[in-house]
Structure 1
Amino acid sequence: MSTLSLSRAPSLWREGLILGALVIPGPFAVDMFLPAMPDITRDLGASVAATQMTLTAYFIAFGLAQMIYGPWSDAAGRKPPIYAGLGVFLLGTLACALAPSIGVLIAARVVQAIGAAVLMVVPRAIIRDRHTGDAATRMMAMIMLVMSVSPMLAPLAGSLIMGVGSWRMIFGVLAAAGGLALVLSLRALPETLVPEARQPVNLGSMRRGIALLSRDPVFMGLTLVGGFGMASFFVYLAMSPFVFTGAYGLSPQQFSLAFAVNAMGFIAASQFAATLGARFGAARVVIWATFGFAGFAVLLGFWAFLGAVPLFGLILGLALGNACLGLVVPTSMVLALDPHGPIAGLASSYGGTLQMVVGGVMIGLTGLVFDGTPERLILAILICALLAVATVLATRGGRPRG
């Protein structure tokens, strides 16, 4: 009965909270793991680059797996892929907890990411099933509000878990979170894709859909704008544990608090995305927020050029830049998906794949020259910001051409 009533008269807040709670194991699998990275490096006798590969492999596998779940959800409905993905996520998470070497841990993270990918694709398609325009932006922002709890609480939770156990216990907690998400999807999540709207999966239709999306400069541009913005955060995820604990000498608990501060700007700004989009136009919000993100990255880069950036300056600059990304990411997602309702699942998965692969590649490339200093972290973020600006200028922030 609760599922039926939810499907008939969904509350935006309740629907957003349910979807947000469903997707949260994915980001928690990244953020809760961060304070443990230096310990994993020592415990498994790995290099810093090898430990960072647990993130690179996660993001690339996470991105590529989305190409499976999107078309599947367009053909079978939104719920069956969620059940399968959560099962794979649980298997990969348990393998992470038992990994005897860094190589096995990297492989287990790949399995974990393949399962977690469903939690990024299908909820976005569910939003597109129910909402468009400003309502969709508001729903996307609500999900991001719930997801944003992860950067604030997950690293702190991870450091607290390490205080009573080892880094392996973190993956035990993640397995429990995946189990709860599975129960939630069974009991509280309605099916939103009616049978008559489903499309059979075949390679031909996928090729045609991908070709259509790839030829759409607005879809590709908006996807890459969001992708470069997210890549800057992925680079921060990979580098910050070593920068804050090494260059600035923070404890795992202090790192968790510094990391949480950098998420606050994103959280606050994302809740204004729909309002600002309705007032000024979503495309204009994307353009100006992208320039704002780049502006703060340039200021940090100039500060680093003049001399060492203090801890407070780095945290403040990143928090302000992330506030701009809080407007860019949800708005660009909605603008990219809006014209492609009949293939919303494929569009969501293809866009997510491109964004995650961009993030994974950026981690891999910057990791090759990372030396543990704040300057290299700032440089990597500045490169991402400038690429986002170049892309938004080329696509005019999602404004239709002609």
Structure 2
Amino acid sequence: MISDFARQAIVLGLLGAVGPFAIDMYLPALPTIAADLGATTAATQMTLMVFFLAFGLCQLIYGPVSDMTGRRPPLAFGLGLFALASLGCALAPTIEWLILARFLQGVGASAVMVIPRAIIRDRYTGTEATRMMALVMLVISVSPMLAPLTGSALIALFGWRAVFAGILAASLLSLFLVLRVLPETHAPEKRAPLSFAALGRGFATLARDPVFLGLTFIGGLGMASFFAFLAASSFLYIDHFGLTPTQYSLAFAMNAIGFFAASQLAARLGERHGAPKVVRAATAGYAAGMLTLLAVTLAGIDSLPALMALLFVSFAFLGLVIPTAMILALEEHGEIAGIASALGGTLQMVLGALSIAVVSALFDGTPLPMVATIGVCATVALVLSRTALRRLGA
């Protein structure tokens, strides 16, 4: 008999996987889309960047609205919009149409990014919240492992448009879960008043909290590392290193396994050593791995096994950083969990979109732009972990 805790983790994980699924499943199709629509690499990468911009900025709307109306109504709206935009992507005749449809997808998908985190804070705190977040991330881990393979199979059999038909099916399943399975966790008596003044007070409280901002940016820089990888990896692995789309999907899954395997240790290590110590140590490991990879790349070593091995190690450390930093950031803001989750998610997604823009602008067909961008993210995260967490200790 599955426990209520595990059932909640599965449902929230499946909802949280919608956004990553919309990214990971179509990554193998990027070169094919560029060729089929007669688009440049930069224009094709724009379909990623606009998704992340909408994905991040619209959390500023969904989070506060969920504090005011409850969690389920904005979730259902977002998933409905996401489904319609997925249909638009499948029918896109030009790259401009696809960019617009991907933007609308991001608007809808941002609901399932911000609101599940608020739901976790509604019901859990401390180590239990970290354990729930880790279980949710375990469910989400199915996306980077299976979505690229599923996308490759659909591309091989039916073409790249079938990828968005698969995403449409996933969005409809998620909408069913929200309407029929997910309970409302934000009771009416706890809901924030429908006023701009209350919204402004919530954002002002968070903006004055250096610990919240520091932890949010630590997690955001970790997410930005993934986004830099997402923007460049398919072109690097397929065009530069000569992998097939299926081989790329397997290589992509290998890089993701380290992250999600390590994330399952986050709650246990936090309980034993304290969450701040886990973040400090893990950011140090993340920075060490990426600076080693940067040194190897600058030395002229152009090796796919070396690239994958050091990314595996670095992303494993991120598996400890991101869920722990997210929970720590929300810990003191339970009354405005939706606003806190929204602001945190928006800042993280904007950082991710900026990393995609940087990698796209600098991309020259080699690993260096991607590796250098991730290396900068790792270094700044290490510095922030030494300042924000010092304040937390005080």
TM-score normalised according to structure 2 size: 0.98
Structure 2: how far apart are the matches of 1:260 and 1:64?
28
- 1:297 equivalent to 2:290? Answer yes
- 1:376 equivalent to 2:369? Answer yes
Structure 2 match to 1:125: 118
Any conservation in 2 of the 1:218–1:400 contact (CA below 8 Å)?
no
1:399 alignment partner, SS class: helix
Choose the corresponding residue for 1:157, options 141, 150, 154: 150
Structure 2 match to 1:194: 187
Structure 2: how far apart are the matches of 1:389 and 1:49?
30
Structure 1: how far apart are the matches of 2:266 and 2:85?
35
Structure 2 match to 1:206: 199
Deviation at 1:381, TM superposition (A): 1.1
- 1:20 equivalent to 2:8? Answer no
Structure 2 match to 1:336: 329
- 1:353 equivalent to 2:346? Answer yes
2:288 alignment partner, SS class: helix
Structure 2: how far apart are the matches of 1:313 and 1:87?
42
Any conservation in 2 of the 1:287–1:397 contact (CA below 8 Å)?
no
Q: Return closer, same or farther for 1:157/1:85 CA change in 2, 3 Å cut-off.
A: same
Alignment of 1:2-401 (within 5 A): 11-396=4-389, 399-401=392-394
Structure 2: how far apart are the matches of 1:308 and 1:30?
29
After TM superposition, the structure 1 stretch with the greater mean CA deviation from structure 2, 316-325 or 391-400, is 391-400
TM-score normalised according to structure 1 size: 0.96
1:339 alignment partner, SS class: coil
2:331 alignment partner, SS class: helix
Report sequence identity in percent.
52
Deviation at 1:103, TM superposition (A): 1.1
Q: Return closer, same or farther for 1:132/1:398 CA change in 2, 3 Å cut-off.
A: farther
Q: In the alignment, residue 163 of structure 2 is paired with which amino acid?
A: I
Q: Deviations over 1:352-396 (max 9, x none)?
A: 000000110111122111111012221111111112112212212
Deviation at 1:398, TM superposition (A): 6.6
Any conservation in 2 of the 1:335–1:398 contact (CA below 8 Å)?
no
Q: Deviations over 1:80-115 (max 9, x none)?
A: 011101111011111111111111111100100110
Any conservation in 2 of the 1:71–1:201 contact (CA below 8 Å)?
no
Q: Which stretches in structure 2 are left out of the alignment for 5+ residues? A: none
Q: Deviations over 1:294-332 (max 9, x none)?
A: 100011011112222311111110011010000000000
